[in-house]
Chain A
Amino acid sequence: MTDRYRLSQLQWLESEAIHIIREVVAEFERPALLFSGGKDSVVMLHLATKAFWPGPVPFPVLHVDTGHNFPEVLAYRDATVERLGLRLEVASVQDYIDDGRLRERADGTRNPLQTQPLLDAISDHRFDAVFGGGRRDEEKARAKERVFSLRDEFGQWDPRNQRPELWSLYNGRHRPGEHVRVFPLSNWTELDVWQYIAHEKIELPSLYYAHEREVFERDGMLLAVGEHAQPREDETVRTRLVRYRTVGDMSCTGAVDSDALTVDDVIAEVAATRVTERGATRADDRMSEAAMEDRKKEGYF
């Protein structure tokens, strides 16, 4: 037995993800891919371009815009959509707040507010399958998630009543009004994602690499000073060399101290880290032990 007929773990994960993406296009009528400009959605879109070569990516991308996004990430999103000739649909949390359908939370974070615009966009566009970049290694409720995950007519996830998922035979059957969330990166870890980004030379928004930024510390997280996050009187602003491990709402996504300038530096850093990416950088997941589970049940990503 030689290694000639053996896939590396990255090749294996890539092949599995492409199989999943192709299954969705073959079995669903109106799929869409959630694209935020974050590294997981960027990798997912890259896999879609490989799955259908030499044809185009045969579905639109959907972005739930909290109105608190990092400007460089929005610029990256628009450039990517332009380069690949994709259709971009935006569901805007700001619009919902402006016309009163949603109210700003006391803590200012908008991550939990994304669920309603997301579900409305899915039903308005009649999307029957929605690709998400969620990974099972991210969080313990996500560890229970299926690759093909059914959502009821209210967009809800019922973790206690999930379809068993056998072999690589994915069951995407659903009734009218229901839809399926599909997670092609289910089996990837944060390190796999970075190694794949290095291997495929995928370009990312610049804030994933070390840069100088004005930040202040809150609840053990480094928040960027900007219109969406202002330091209180007791919080001091410092210019530090930081990077982001996840990209989300500016008001609740923290940076980490880092001197990782290149993708190889990041891989070394991720391999040695002692804190999970969500633990390090997401205030919303620290609210309670079941914060993610509760948001997912309501229809969150």
Chain B
Amino acid sequence: MSTLLRLATAGSVDDGKSTLVGRLLYDSKSVLADQFDAVERVSRDRGMAQADLALLTDGLRSEREQGITIDVAYRYFATADRSFILADCPGHVQYTRNTVTGASTADVVVLLVDVRKGLQEQTRRHLAVASLLRVPHVVVVVNKIDLVGYDEQTYEAVSRDVIESARALGLYDVATIPVSALEGDNVVERSDRTPWYDGPSLLAFLEQLSPVGQPHSEPLRLPVQLVIRPQSSAAPEFRDYRGYAGQIASGLVRVGDEITVLPSGRTSSVAAIDFAGESLREAFAPMSVTLRLADEIDITRGDMIVTSRSVPPVTQDVHGTIAWLADHELRPGTKVLLKHGTTTVQAMVRAIDGRLDLVTATLAPAETLGLNDIGHVTLRLAAPIAAEEYLHARSTGAFLLIDAQDGGTLAAGMVGDALLDTRAEILLATSPS
């Protein structure tokens, strides 16, 4: 069975990210002849001696003209047992916006560091974003190893810095790999030029990463998308059918399970789990299914079906961490829409509690939040939601803030103080007793 792994790339300007992605696609034979011909042609026109693999990933005319990547692009490649979806996030323009977007759906962040420059502020920021968004795995590609003569000591020093910095941000599962994206060392195949490195190539590392999430051990959360009630438009045996359709956000559900509907708190049990005419005994995240319940209770879009064994709190007061993605500033008192699961409610920004310095992982007082700022806010909602700490519930702890007038997406939100909580835990864990 082929499984799927989602990755997001991150890096600073000129650290060779486009080249790495191009190399990964090319060496894994995911670039087809006509695409490569086009790259060769353009490279020749620009007077380059060899094909510039970075050109494989620049999608828009203005990106090619400026030689920069503007927006997240998605790439697809596969090996025998695994398919990969790669969110290629540009390094410099609006980095938070793009990195947060890519990291929100990623199982693993691939972070590039130029071995000659070592750990940069930008590297720390990207690590912080990976930590904030609870990306399960981080792999740091220490690139341009060819430019330091494949020197082990230089690599080890950078690797140590990165791992130490990651730990301070609560990231314990960080691997580093010495790579030359330009020459192809340790990208797809292990390189002979780094005999001192005994780990896997980047692709081999990504192939063997354990898939993320353990549905059977997490509590059931199913945001209801819509109620399926075909009435007279269905065959006679389905005229009384009433099913609650949604994608399981976390956990596992079995026929007979006791459930609670939020925010109302009404309870029932699962009578059937339907999937397009199939009747299932159990279903788990992230399956899209339709549940039928034993009792006729009032359920609509925006409600969440949860296991009665673990019922999250329902609240109109949300304290959260947000990444502000809009050009204009956020001020206290602003009214917005908040989308959580399948519900959208009005919200007021009661207070801005501070701006996070990602480099030092500390909170500083702030009156406003600007583009690419990450801060803590207190929100008051017009209706209650089943808010769970993002730290423990990546799928149901996330929300969007939306502009009520033009509909634009203003912010990516996470319930709770994700990053500072982590830091506090670490300080506790490492402080001498």
Contact = CB atoms under 8 A, between A and B. Distances in A.
A22 B406 contact: no
Looking at B59, B71, B229, B403, which has the most chain A CB atoms within 10 Å of its CB? Answer: B59
Contact of A18 (B83, B277, B288): B288
Contacts of A8: 1-3
Nearest to B407: A173
B61 A171 contact: no
B210 A1 contact: yes
A290 interface: yes
A188 B55 CA distance: 22
A56 B226 contact: no
Given A167-B395, A276-B34, A51 B339 contact: no
B310 interface: no
B73 A53 contact: no
B338 to A, nearest CB: 10
Interface stretch (A34-42, A65-73, A92-100, A136-144): A136-144
A5 B216 contact: yes
Contacts of A164: 72, 97-98, 100-101, 325, 409, 412
B245 interface: yes
Interface stretch (B233-241, B354-362, B377-385, B422-430): B233-241
A171 B400 contact: yes
Nearest to B41: A289
Looking at A23, A25, A171, A187, which has the most chain B CB atoms within 10 Å of its CB? Answer: A171
B122 interface: no
B252 A5 contact: yes
B226 A55 contact: no
B230 interface: yes
A18 B228 CA distance: 14
Interface in A13-71: 13-16, 18-19, 22-23, 25-26, 49-56
Contacts of A274: 32-33
B211 to A, nearest CB: 6
A9 to B, nearest CB: 4
B225 interface: yes
B408 interface: yes
A280 interface: yes
Looking at B38, B100, B339, which has the most chain A CB atoms within 10 Å of its CB? Answer: B339
B62 A275 contact: no
A55 B325 contact: no
Contacts of A19: 225, 246-247, 288
B339 A171 contact: yes
Contact of B71 (A10, A11, A159, A187): A159
B76 A159 contact: no
Contacts of A168: 105, 247, 395
Contacts of B395: 167-168
A51 B230 CA distance: 13
Contacts of A236: none
B264 interface: no
Contacts of A289: 38, 42, 61, 64
Interface in A188-247: 189, 191-192
A171 to B, nearest CB: 5
B248 to A, nearest CB: 9
A163 B225 contact: no
A299 B23 CA distance: 33
A289 B62 CA distance: 12
A293 B60 CA distance: 7
Given A23-B225, A143-B73, A167 B286 contact: no
A50 B278 CA distance: 10
A38 B255 CA distance: 38
A189 B78 CA distance: 10
A279 interface: yes
A7 interface: yes
Contacts of A191: 78
A280 B34 contact: yes
A200 to B, nearest CB: 10
B71 A162 contact: yes
Given A54-B234, A140-B59, A166 B2 contact: no
A165 interface: yes
Contact of B409 (A25, A143, A163): A163
Contacts of B57: 140
B214 A293 contact: no
A137 to B, nearest CB: 5
A163 B277 CA distance: 36
A175 B408 CA distance: 10
B225 A144 contact: no
A272 to B, nearest CB: 10
B85 interface: yes
A101 interface: no
Contact of A275 (B33, B98, B252, B290): B33
Contacts of A18: 247, 288
A279 B225 contact: no
B230 to A, nearest CB: 3
A189 B76 CA distance: 7
B431 to A, nearest CB: 33
B74 A166 contact: no
Contacts of A173: 337, 402-403, 406-408
A187 B339 CA distance: 23
B95 interface: no
A10 B287 CA distance: 12
A56 B234 contact: yes
9 contacts: A11-B287, A12-B4, A22-B225, A26-B301, A163-B408, A164-B325, A166-B400, A167-B395, A275-B33
Given A11-B287, A53-B290, A276-B35, 5 more contacts: A7-B287, A26-B301, A160-B71, A164-B97, A166-B409
Interface of A: 1, 3, 5-16, 18-19, 22-23, 25-26, 49-56, 136-137, 140-141, 143-144, 150, 159-160, 162-169, 171, 173-175, 186-187, 189, 191-192, 273-276, 279-280, 289-290, 293-294
